[in-house]
Protein backbone atom coordinates (compact mmCIF):
# COMPACT_ATOMS: atom_id res chain seq x y z
CA UNK A 1 0.00 0.00 0.00
CA UNK A 2 1.35 3.43 -0.94
CA UNK A 3 1.84 6.22 1.61
CA UNK A 4 -0.89 8.28 -0.07
CA UNK A 5 -3.35 5.40 0.15
CA UNK A 6 -2.49 4.74 3.79
CA UNK A 7 -2.91 8.43 4.58
CA UNK A 8 -6.34 8.54 2.90
CA UNK A 9 -7.49 5.50 4.84
CA UNK A 10 -6.24 6.95 8.11
CA UNK A 11 -8.07 10.22 7.45
CA UNK A 12 -11.23 8.35 6.51
CA UNK A 13 -11.18 6.18 9.62
CA UNK A 14 -10.67 9.24 11.86
CA UNK A 15 -13.55 11.09 10.18
CA UNK A 16 -15.86 8.08 10.61
CA UNK A 17 -15.04 7.84 14.29
CA UNK A 18 -15.96 11.49 14.75
CA UNK A 19 -18.82 11.88 12.29
CA UNK A 20 -20.25 8.37 11.84
CA UNK A 21 -20.40 8.61 8.07
CA UNK A 22 -18.14 8.59 5.07
CA UNK A 23 -16.42 11.81 3.96
CA UNK A 24 -17.32 12.75 0.42
CA UNK A 25 -14.15 14.79 -0.09
CA UNK A 26 -11.78 11.83 0.32
CA UNK A 27 -11.33 9.93 -2.95
CA UNK A 28 -11.99 6.18 -2.75
CA UNK A 29 -9.22 3.58 -2.93
CA UNK A 30 -9.70 1.68 -6.22
CA UNK A 31 -10.42 -2.04 -6.13
CA UNK A 32 -9.40 -3.42 -9.48
CA UNK A 33 -8.65 -6.73 -11.16
CA UNK A 34 -5.96 -6.32 -13.79
CA UNK A 35 -7.54 -6.61 -17.26
CA UNK A 36 -6.40 -9.45 -19.52
CA UNK A 37 -6.34 -10.03 -23.25
CA UNK A 38 -8.65 -12.63 -24.83
CA UNK A 39 -6.84 -15.66 -26.22
CA UNK A 40 -5.81 -14.99 -29.87
CA UNK A 41 -7.01 -18.29 -31.34
CA UNK A 42 -5.89 -17.20 -34.81
CA UNK A 43 -2.33 -18.09 -33.81
CA UNK A 44 -3.33 -21.71 -34.41
CA UNK A 45 -3.77 -23.27 -37.86
CA UNK A 46 -7.33 -22.94 -39.13
CA UNK A 47 -8.19 -26.63 -38.67
CA UNK A 48 -7.47 -26.33 -34.92
CA UNK A 49 -9.40 -23.12 -34.30
CA UNK A 50 -12.72 -24.94 -34.53
CA UNK A 51 -11.51 -27.42 -31.92
CA UNK A 52 -10.83 -24.56 -29.48
CA UNK A 53 -14.11 -22.71 -30.02
CA UNK A 54 -16.28 -25.83 -30.10
CA UNK A 55 -14.60 -27.32 -27.03
CA UNK A 56 -14.97 -24.08 -25.06
CA UNK A 57 -18.66 -23.78 -25.95
CA UNK A 58 -19.35 -27.44 -25.24
CA UNK A 59 -17.65 -27.31 -21.83
CA UNK A 60 -18.73 -23.74 -21.03
CA UNK A 61 -15.18 -22.78 -20.17
CA UNK A 62 -12.92 -19.95 -21.34
CA UNK A 63 -11.14 -20.84 -24.61
CA UNK A 64 -7.92 -20.00 -22.75
CA UNK A 65 -8.19 -23.27 -20.80
CA UNK A 66 -8.29 -25.27 -24.02
CA UNK A 67 -5.70 -23.30 -25.99
CA UNK A 68 -2.95 -23.09 -23.37
CA UNK A 69 -3.33 -26.81 -22.65
CA UNK A 70 -2.88 -27.49 -26.36
CA UNK A 71 0.44 -25.65 -26.38
CA UNK A 72 1.88 -27.77 -23.56
CA UNK A 73 0.62 -31.00 -25.11
CA UNK A 74 1.92 -30.03 -28.56
CA UNK A 75 5.29 -29.17 -27.06
CA UNK A 76 5.49 -32.57 -25.38
CA UNK A 77 4.60 -34.29 -28.65
CA UNK A 78 7.46 -32.51 -30.42
CA UNK A 79 9.87 -33.35 -27.61
CA UNK A 80 13.51 -33.48 -28.65
CA UNK A 81 12.73 -34.12 -32.32
CA UNK A 82 13.11 -30.43 -33.21
CA UNK A 83 14.66 -27.25 -31.81
CA UNK A 84 14.79 -23.60 -32.83
CA UNK A 85 18.03 -21.67 -33.20
CA UNK A 86 18.11 -17.95 -32.44
CA UNK A 87 21.88 -17.83 -32.94
CA UNK A 88 24.81 -20.23 -32.78
CA UNK A 89 24.82 -20.58 -28.99
CA UNK A 90 21.10 -20.10 -28.34
CA UNK A 91 18.91 -23.10 -29.09
CA UNK A 92 15.53 -23.76 -27.50
CA UNK A 93 13.33 -26.85 -27.38
CA UNK A 94 9.54 -26.83 -27.03
CA UNK A 95 9.49 -27.15 -23.23
CA UNK A 96 6.33 -25.54 -21.90
CA UNK A 97 5.28 -25.43 -18.24
CA UNK A 98 1.72 -24.15 -18.06
CA UNK A 99 -0.93 -23.77 -15.37
CA UNK A 100 -4.53 -22.73 -15.92
CA UNK A 101 -6.00 -20.80 -13.01
CA UNK A 102 -9.68 -20.75 -12.22
CA UNK A 103 -12.00 -20.52 -9.24
CA UNK A 104 -13.81 -23.62 -7.95
CA UNK A 105 -16.46 -24.67 -10.46
CA UNK A 106 -14.87 -22.72 -13.33
CA UNK A 107 -14.37 -25.92 -15.34
CA UNK A 108 -10.60 -26.41 -15.33
CA UNK A 109 -10.39 -30.21 -15.42
CA UNK A 110 -12.68 -31.09 -18.40
CA UNK A 111 -10.66 -29.06 -20.96
CA UNK A 112 -7.43 -30.54 -19.60
CA UNK A 113 -8.79 -34.06 -20.05
CA UNK A 114 -10.14 -33.26 -23.50
CA UNK A 115 -6.83 -31.89 -24.75
CA UNK A 116 -5.01 -34.86 -23.21
CA UNK A 117 -7.17 -37.36 -25.14
CA UNK A 118 -4.66 -38.12 -27.94
CA UNK A 119 -1.90 -38.62 -25.36
CA UNK A 120 -4.10 -41.04 -23.41
CA UNK A 121 -4.89 -42.94 -26.61
CA UNK A 122 -1.21 -43.20 -27.50
CA UNK A 123 -0.43 -44.39 -23.98
CA UNK A 124 -3.19 -47.01 -24.08
CA UNK A 125 -1.64 -48.52 -27.21
CA UNK A 126 1.79 -48.63 -25.58
CA UNK A 127 0.27 -50.30 -22.52
CA UNK A 128 -1.31 -53.01 -24.69
CA UNK A 129 1.99 -53.57 -26.49
CA UNK A 130 3.80 -53.78 -23.16
CA UNK A 131 1.30 -56.31 -21.82
CA UNK A 132 1.86 -58.59 -24.82
CA UNK A 133 5.64 -58.15 -24.65
CA UNK A 134 5.61 -58.99 -20.95
CA UNK A 135 3.76 -62.25 -21.60
CA UNK A 136 6.29 -63.17 -24.29
CA UNK A 137 9.12 -62.30 -21.92
CA UNK A 138 7.77 -64.54 -19.17
CA UNK A 139 7.57 -67.47 -21.57
CA UNK A 140 11.07 -66.83 -22.94
CA UNK A 141 12.49 -66.46 -19.43
CA UNK A 142 10.94 -69.73 -18.30
CA UNK A 143 12.47 -71.51 -21.30
CA UNK A 144 15.88 -69.90 -20.71
CA UNK A 145 15.89 -70.88 -17.04
CA UNK A 146 15.44 -74.51 -18.06
CA UNK A 147 18.36 -74.73 -20.50
CA UNK A 148 20.32 -71.44 -20.14
CA UNK A 149 20.91 -71.38 -23.88
CA UNK A 150 21.86 -68.02 -25.36
CA UNK A 151 21.45 -64.71 -23.58
CA UNK A 152 19.00 -64.14 -20.78
CA UNK A 153 15.87 -62.47 -22.23
CA UNK A 154 15.67 -58.73 -21.61
CA UNK A 155 12.68 -57.59 -19.62
CA UNK A 156 10.49 -55.21 -21.67
CA UNK A 157 9.89 -51.65 -20.56
CA UNK A 158 6.82 -49.55 -21.23
CA UNK A 159 7.40 -46.27 -23.02
CA UNK A 160 5.42 -43.42 -21.48
CA UNK A 161 4.58 -40.09 -23.07
CA UNK A 162 3.09 -38.69 -19.86
CA UNK A 163 3.11 -39.33 -16.15
CA UNK A 164 1.38 -38.10 -13.02
CA UNK A 165 4.31 -39.13 -10.80
CA UNK A 166 6.05 -35.96 -9.68
CA UNK A 167 9.20 -37.46 -8.14
CA UNK A 168 12.38 -36.63 -10.02
CA UNK A 169 13.57 -40.22 -9.66
CA UNK A 170 10.48 -41.44 -11.51
CA UNK A 171 10.87 -38.77 -14.20
CA UNK A 172 14.51 -39.73 -14.74
CA UNK A 173 13.56 -43.40 -15.14
CA UNK A 174 10.98 -42.49 -17.77
CA UNK A 175 13.39 -40.21 -19.62
CA UNK A 176 15.96 -42.99 -19.78
CA UNK A 177 13.38 -45.16 -21.57
CA UNK A 178 11.98 -42.32 -23.70
CA UNK A 179 14.67 -39.67 -24.32
CA UNK A 180 12.25 -37.83 -26.64
CA UNK A 181 10.55 -36.46 -23.53
CA UNK A 182 7.70 -36.75 -21.05
CA UNK A 183 4.67 -34.64 -20.17
CA UNK A 184 4.06 -34.27 -16.45
CA UNK A 185 0.31 -33.89 -16.12
CA UNK A 186 -1.54 -32.96 -12.92
CA UNK A 187 -5.04 -31.56 -12.98
CA UNK A 188 -4.20 -30.17 -9.51
CA UNK A 189 -0.78 -28.61 -10.06
CA UNK A 190 -0.16 -28.04 -6.36
CA UNK A 191 0.94 -31.68 -6.13
CA UNK A 192 3.97 -31.01 -8.33
CA UNK A 193 4.97 -27.92 -6.39
CA UNK A 194 4.74 -29.53 -2.96
CA UNK A 195 6.36 -32.83 -3.96
CA UNK A 196 10.00 -31.73 -3.74
CA UNK A 197 12.07 -33.72 -1.28
CA UNK A 198 8.94 -35.44 0.03
CA UNK A 199 10.96 -38.53 0.95
CA UNK A 200 13.95 -36.62 2.29
CA UNK A 201 12.40 -34.48 5.00
CA UNK A 202 13.14 -31.37 2.91
CA UNK A 203 16.88 -32.05 2.96
CA UNK A 204 17.28 -33.03 -0.70
CA UNK A 205 18.06 -30.92 -3.75
CA UNK A 206 15.02 -31.87 -5.83
CA UNK A 207 14.03 -28.23 -6.20
CA UNK A 208 17.35 -27.32 -7.80
CA UNK A 209 17.05 -30.29 -10.16
CA UNK A 210 13.52 -29.21 -11.05
CA UNK A 211 14.87 -25.81 -12.03
CA UNK A 212 17.31 -27.50 -14.41
CA UNK A 213 14.51 -29.52 -16.01
CA UNK A 214 13.01 -26.30 -17.35
CA UNK A 215 16.27 -25.38 -19.09
CA UNK A 216 17.13 -28.93 -20.13
CA UNK A 217 20.47 -29.04 -18.33
CA UNK A 218 21.92 -32.54 -17.67
CA UNK A 219 20.84 -34.31 -14.49
CA UNK A 220 22.62 -37.14 -12.68
CA UNK A 221 20.97 -39.23 -9.98
CA UNK A 222 22.84 -41.57 -7.67
CA UNK A 223 20.41 -44.42 -7.12
CA UNK A 224 20.96 -47.22 -4.63
CA UNK A 225 21.69 -49.77 -7.33
CA UNK A 226 22.96 -47.59 -10.19
CA UNK A 227 23.85 -44.13 -11.38
CA UNK A 228 21.50 -42.47 -13.84
CA UNK A 229 22.57 -39.67 -16.19
CA UNK A 230 20.16 -37.84 -18.49
CA UNK A 231 22.15 -35.51 -20.80
CA UNK A 232 19.17 -33.65 -22.31
CA UNK A 233 16.07 -34.05 -20.13
CA UNK A 234 12.85 -32.91 -21.77
CA UNK A 235 9.83 -32.41 -19.51
CA UNK A 236 6.70 -30.39 -20.22
CA UNK A 237 4.18 -29.61 -17.49
CA UNK A 238 0.43 -29.10 -17.63
CA UNK A 239 -1.90 -28.58 -14.69
CA UNK A 240 -4.68 -26.56 -13.13
CA UNK A 241 -4.92 -24.61 -9.89
CA UNK A 242 -7.22 -22.34 -7.94
CA UNK A 243 -5.95 -18.75 -7.46
CA UNK A 244 -6.29 -19.08 -3.69
CA UNK A 245 -4.10 -22.19 -3.73
CA UNK A 246 -1.45 -20.36 -5.74
CA UNK A 247 -1.45 -17.62 -3.13
CA UNK A 248 -1.15 -20.17 -0.32
CA UNK A 249 1.85 -21.69 -2.11
CA UNK A 250 3.75 -18.43 -2.47
CA UNK A 251 6.46 -19.84 -0.23
CA UNK A 252 6.75 -23.03 -2.28
CA UNK A 253 6.63 -21.04 -5.54
CA UNK A 254 9.39 -18.75 -4.28
CA UNK A 255 10.36 -15.86 -6.52
CA UNK A 256 13.87 -15.86 -5.04
CA UNK A 257 15.08 -18.79 -7.14
CA UNK A 258 12.77 -18.01 -10.05
CA UNK A 259 10.77 -21.22 -9.77
CA UNK A 260 7.40 -19.52 -10.26
CA UNK A 261 8.74 -17.55 -13.22
CA UNK A 262 9.17 -20.77 -15.19
CA UNK A 263 5.41 -21.27 -15.48
CA UNK A 264 3.05 -19.74 -18.00
CA UNK A 265 -0.23 -18.86 -16.28
CA UNK A 266 -3.61 -17.98 -17.67
CA UNK A 267 -6.31 -16.56 -15.43
CA UNK A 268 -9.24 -15.49 -17.61
CA UNK A 269 -12.41 -13.87 -16.34
CA UNK A 270 -14.92 -16.53 -15.24
CA UNK A 271 -17.95 -17.40 -17.33
CA UNK A 272 -21.46 -17.52 -15.85
CA UNK A 273 -22.77 -21.04 -15.36
CA UNK A 274 -25.19 -22.16 -18.07
CA UNK A 275 -26.63 -25.27 -19.61
CA UNK A 276 -24.97 -26.10 -22.94
CA UNK A 277 -26.36 -27.97 -25.91
CA UNK A 278 -23.26 -27.49 -28.08
CA UNK A 279 -21.09 -30.52 -28.75
CA UNK A 280 -17.58 -31.04 -30.06
CA UNK A 281 -17.81 -32.29 -33.63
CA UNK A 282 -16.03 -35.46 -34.71
CA UNK A 283 -14.18 -33.43 -37.32
CA UNK A 284 -12.72 -31.07 -34.73
CA UNK A 285 -11.85 -33.88 -32.33
CA UNK A 286 -10.13 -35.79 -35.13
CA UNK A 287 -8.23 -32.68 -36.21
CA UNK A 288 -6.60 -32.39 -32.78
CA UNK A 289 -5.97 -36.13 -32.44
CA UNK A 290 -4.29 -36.41 -35.83
CA UNK A 291 -2.25 -33.26 -35.22
CA UNK A 292 -0.79 -34.73 -32.03
CA UNK A 293 -0.15 -38.03 -33.79
CA UNK A 294 1.71 -36.26 -36.59
CA UNK A 295 3.84 -34.33 -34.09
CA UNK A 296 4.71 -37.53 -32.22
CA UNK A 297 5.68 -39.23 -35.47
CA UNK A 298 7.92 -36.35 -36.51
CA UNK A 299 11.41 -37.80 -36.54
CA UNK A 300 14.71 -36.33 -35.47
CA UNK A 301 17.87 -36.63 -37.55
CA UNK A 302 19.31 -40.08 -38.29
CA UNK A 303 21.94 -39.68 -35.57
CA UNK A 304 19.23 -38.86 -33.01
CA UNK A 305 19.99 -35.15 -32.87
CA UNK A 306 17.08 -32.71 -33.22
CA UNK A 307 16.12 -31.13 -36.51
CA UNK A 308 17.22 -27.52 -36.18
CA UNK A 309 14.75 -24.88 -37.32
CA UNK A 310 16.24 -21.50 -38.24
CA UNK A 311 14.66 -18.18 -39.16
CA UNK A 312 13.94 -16.84 -42.60
CA UNK A 313 15.30 -13.33 -43.22
CA UNK A 314 11.96 -11.68 -42.45
CA UNK A 315 11.35 -14.06 -39.56
CA UNK A 316 14.69 -13.12 -37.99
CA UNK A 317 13.92 -9.42 -38.39
CA UNK A 318 10.56 -9.95 -36.67
CA UNK A 319 12.25 -11.84 -33.82
CA UNK A 320 14.80 -9.04 -33.36
CA UNK A 321 12.02 -6.43 -33.38
CA UNK A 322 10.11 -8.31 -30.69
CA UNK A 323 13.21 -8.82 -28.56
CA UNK A 324 14.20 -5.14 -28.83
CA UNK A 325 10.72 -4.07 -27.72
CA UNK A 326 10.79 -6.62 -24.89
CA UNK A 327 14.09 -5.21 -23.60
CA UNK A 328 12.92 -1.62 -24.01
CA UNK A 329 9.85 -2.42 -21.91
CA UNK A 330 12.07 -3.71 -19.09
CA UNK A 331 14.47 -0.77 -19.34
CA UNK A 332 11.66 1.76 -18.86
CA UNK A 333 11.75 3.71 -15.59
CA UNK A 334 8.19 2.68 -14.68
CA UNK A 335 8.67 -1.06 -15.28
CA UNK A 336 7.51 -2.99 -12.22
CA UNK A 337 10.29 -4.76 -10.37
CA UNK A 338 8.24 -7.87 -9.58
CA UNK A 339 7.81 -8.54 -13.31
CA UNK A 340 11.54 -8.71 -14.03
CA UNK A 341 11.75 -12.39 -13.14
CA UNK A 342 8.94 -13.67 -15.37
CA UNK A 343 9.87 -11.28 -18.19
CA UNK A 344 13.40 -12.73 -18.19
CA UNK A 345 11.94 -16.18 -18.92
CA UNK A 346 9.57 -14.91 -21.61
CA UNK A 347 12.36 -14.41 -24.14
CA UNK A 348 13.05 -18.16 -24.06
CA UNK A 349 9.33 -18.87 -24.10
CA UNK A 350 8.92 -16.73 -27.20
CA UNK A 351 11.31 -19.00 -29.09
CA UNK A 352 9.73 -22.15 -27.68
CA UNK A 353 6.24 -21.05 -28.62
CA UNK A 354 7.43 -19.94 -32.05
CA UNK A 355 8.78 -23.46 -32.57
CA UNK A 356 5.46 -25.01 -31.52
CA UNK A 357 3.39 -22.71 -33.74
CA UNK A 358 5.79 -23.41 -36.60
CA UNK A 359 5.54 -27.19 -36.14
CA UNK A 360 1.75 -26.98 -35.93
CA UNK A 361 1.72 -25.17 -39.27
CA UNK A 362 3.98 -27.88 -40.70
CA UNK A 363 1.91 -30.90 -39.64
CA UNK A 364 -1.35 -29.11 -40.55
CA UNK A 365 0.11 -28.59 -44.06
CA UNK A 366 -0.05 -24.80 -43.83
CA UNK A 367 3.63 -24.60 -44.82
CA UNK A 368 6.25 -26.93 -46.26
CA UNK A 369 8.12 -29.22 -43.90
CA UNK A 370 11.64 -27.84 -44.17
CA UNK A 371 10.82 -24.14 -44.37
CA UNK A 372 12.24 -22.01 -41.54
CA UNK A 373 10.30 -19.82 -39.11
CA UNK A 374 8.89 -16.91 -41.10
CA UNK A 375 7.42 -13.50 -40.29
CA UNK A 376 3.88 -14.92 -40.21
CA UNK A 377 4.78 -17.37 -37.44
CA UNK A 378 6.54 -14.59 -35.53
CA UNK A 379 3.51 -12.31 -35.89
CA UNK A 380 1.38 -15.05 -34.36
CA UNK A 381 3.96 -15.57 -31.63
CA UNK A 382 3.99 -11.85 -30.88
CA UNK A 383 0.20 -11.85 -30.45
CA UNK A 384 0.48 -14.84 -28.14
CA UNK A 385 3.17 -13.16 -26.03
CA UNK A 386 1.08 -9.99 -25.68
CA UNK A 387 -1.73 -12.16 -24.37
CA UNK A 388 0.52 -14.07 -21.95
CA UNK A 389 2.04 -10.86 -20.61
CA UNK A 390 -1.40 -9.51 -19.73
CA UNK A 391 -2.15 -12.64 -17.72
CA UNK A 392 1.25 -12.53 -16.03
CA UNK A 393 0.52 -8.97 -14.90
CA UNK A 394 -2.77 -10.11 -13.38
CA UNK A 395 -1.21 -13.11 -11.62
CA UNK A 396 1.74 -11.26 -10.11
CA UNK A 397 -0.47 -8.35 -9.04
CA UNK A 398 -2.79 -10.80 -7.28
CA UNK A 399 0.15 -12.46 -5.54
CA UNK A 400 0.91 -9.12 -3.91
CA UNK A 401 -2.59 -8.59 -2.58
CA UNK A 402 -3.15 -9.17 1.11
CA UNK A 403 -5.71 -11.82 2.16
CA UNK A 404 -8.09 -9.01 3.14
CA UNK A 405 -7.78 -7.37 -0.29
CA UNK A 406 -8.50 -10.66 -2.03
CA UNK A 407 -11.60 -11.18 0.10
CA UNK A 408 -12.82 -7.68 -0.70
CA UNK A 409 -12.40 -8.39 -4.40
CA UNK A 410 -14.40 -11.61 -4.05
CA UNK A 411 -17.21 -9.83 -2.19
CA UNK A 412 -17.27 -7.03 -4.78
CA UNK A 413 -17.42 -9.51 -7.67
CA UNK A 414 -20.20 -11.43 -5.91
CA UNK A 415 -22.18 -8.22 -5.40
CA UNK A 416 -21.65 -7.35 -9.04
CA UNK A 417 -23.20 -10.68 -10.09
CA UNK A 418 -26.14 -9.99 -7.75
CA UNK A 419 -26.94 -6.65 -9.32
CA UNK A 420 -24.84 -4.55 -6.95
CA UNK A 421 -27.00 -4.80 -3.84
CA UNK A 422 -27.43 -7.33 -1.02
CA UNK A 423 -27.51 -7.46 2.76
CA UNK A 424 -24.72 -8.42 5.08
CA UNK A 425 -26.79 -11.47 6.01
CA UNK A 426 -26.99 -12.51 2.34
CA UNK A 427 -23.21 -12.32 2.10
CA UNK A 428 -22.74 -14.35 5.26
CA UNK A 429 -25.31 -16.96 4.24
CA UNK A 430 -23.52 -17.48 0.91
CA UNK A 431 -20.17 -17.61 2.75
CA UNK A 432 -18.70 -15.29 0.14
CA UNK A 433 -14.89 -15.15 0.35
CA UNK A 434 -15.01 -17.77 3.08
CA UNK A 435 -16.82 -15.48 5.56
CA UNK A 436 -18.31 -17.60 8.35
CA UNK A 437 -19.19 -15.22 11.19
CA UNK A 438 -21.27 -12.07 11.43
CA UNK A 439 -18.40 -10.19 13.08
CA UNK A 440 -15.95 -11.05 10.28
CA UNK A 441 -18.52 -10.05 7.68
CA UNK A 442 -19.23 -6.69 9.32
CA UNK A 443 -15.52 -5.92 9.72
CA UNK A 444 -14.78 -6.65 6.07
CA UNK A 445 -17.76 -4.61 4.87
CA UNK A 446 -16.74 -1.69 7.08
CA UNK A 447 -13.27 -1.76 5.54
CA UNK A 448 -14.82 -1.84 2.07
CA UNK A 449 -16.98 1.12 3.04
CA UNK A 450 -13.95 3.04 4.30
CA UNK A 451 -12.18 2.38 1.00
CA UNK A 452 -15.16 3.51 -1.04
CA UNK A 453 -16.03 0.13 -2.55
CA UNK A 454 -19.50 -0.09 -0.97
CA UNK A 455 -21.99 2.03 0.91
CA UNK A 456 -23.69 0.67 4.03
CA UNK A 457 -27.19 1.68 5.13
CA UNK A 458 -29.47 0.25 7.84
CA UNK A 459 -32.32 -1.92 6.61
CA UNK A 460 -35.36 0.40 6.30
CA UNK A 461 -37.51 -2.45 7.60
CA UNK A 462 -35.90 -2.07 10.98
CA UNK A 463 -34.39 -5.53 10.98
CA UNK A 464 -30.89 -6.06 12.31
CA UNK A 465 -29.17 -6.16 8.98
CA UNK A 466 -27.30 -3.76 6.73
CA UNK A 467 -27.96 -3.10 3.07
CA UNK A 468 -24.73 -3.19 1.05
CA UNK A 469 -24.56 -1.24 -2.22
CA UNK A 470 -21.60 -1.75 -4.54
CA UNK A 471 -19.92 1.39 -5.86
CA UNK A 472 -19.78 0.02 -9.39
CA UNK A 473 -17.19 2.42 -10.80
CA UNK A 474 -14.63 1.12 -8.31
CA UNK A 475 -14.31 -2.43 -9.63
CA UNK A 476 -13.10 -3.99 -12.85
CA UNK A 477 -13.17 -7.68 -13.73
Whole-number Å distance between alpha carbons of 236 and 170:
15
Domain boundaries, the chain: 11-33+404-476, 44-400
User: Could you report the per-residue pLDDT of 408-423, keeping only the tens digit for each?
Assistant: 888 888 888 888 888 9
**Predicted pLDDT of residue 22:** 44
21 or 465, greater pLDDT: 465
Q: Please write the tens of the pLDDT for every residue from 230-278.
A: 999 999 999 999 887 887 776 655 566 788 899 999 999 989 889 999 9
**Nearest partner of 181 among 234, 228, 220, judged by Cα:** 234
* pLDDT one-digit tens code per residue, 207-216: 777 888 999 9
- Return the pLDDT at 347: 97
- Please report the pLDDT score of residue 472 as a whole number: 61
Among 27-41, 56-70, 321-335, 433-447, name the one with the lowest average pLDDT.
27-41
| pLDDT (0 to 100) of residue 330 | 97
CATH 3.40.50 fits 44-400, yes or no: yes
| pLDDT at residue 11, rounded to an integer | 47
CB atoms within 10 A of CB 96: 24
Q: What DSSP letter does each residue of 137-206 carry, written as one string?
A: HHHHHHHHHHH--SSPPPPP----SEE----HHHHHHHHHH-TT-EEEEESSTHHHHT-TTTTTTT-S-H
**How does pLDDT run across 78-123, given as a tens digit for each residue?**
999 999 999 999 999 999 999 999 988 788 999 999 999 999 999 9
Give the model's confidence band at 325: pLDDT under 50 very low, under 70 low, under 90 confident, else very high. Answer: very high
**What pLDDT digit, counting tens, does each position of 375-409 carry?**
999 999 999 999 999 999 999 888 877 777 778 88
Instruction: Please tell me the predicted confidence (pLDDT) of residue 244.
Output: 79
Q: Look at the domain 11-33+404-476 and name its fold.
A: Arc Repressor Mutant, subunit A (1.10.10)
Most confident of 62-71, 185-194, 428-437: 62-71
Amino acid sequence: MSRDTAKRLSEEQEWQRNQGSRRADIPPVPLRQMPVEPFPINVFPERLRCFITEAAKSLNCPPDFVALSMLSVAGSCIGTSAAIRAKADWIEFARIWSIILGDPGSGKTPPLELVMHPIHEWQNKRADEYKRALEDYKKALAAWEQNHEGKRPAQPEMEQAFTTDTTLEALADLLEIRPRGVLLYQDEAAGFITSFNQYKGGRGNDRQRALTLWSGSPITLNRKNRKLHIPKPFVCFLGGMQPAVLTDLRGEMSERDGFIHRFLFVYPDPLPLRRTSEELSNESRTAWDTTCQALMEYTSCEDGSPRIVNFTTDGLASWHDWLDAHYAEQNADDFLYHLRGPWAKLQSYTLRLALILHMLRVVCNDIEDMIDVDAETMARTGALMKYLKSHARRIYANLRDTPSERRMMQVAQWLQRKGGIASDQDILKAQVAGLKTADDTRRLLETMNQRGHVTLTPDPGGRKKIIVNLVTDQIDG
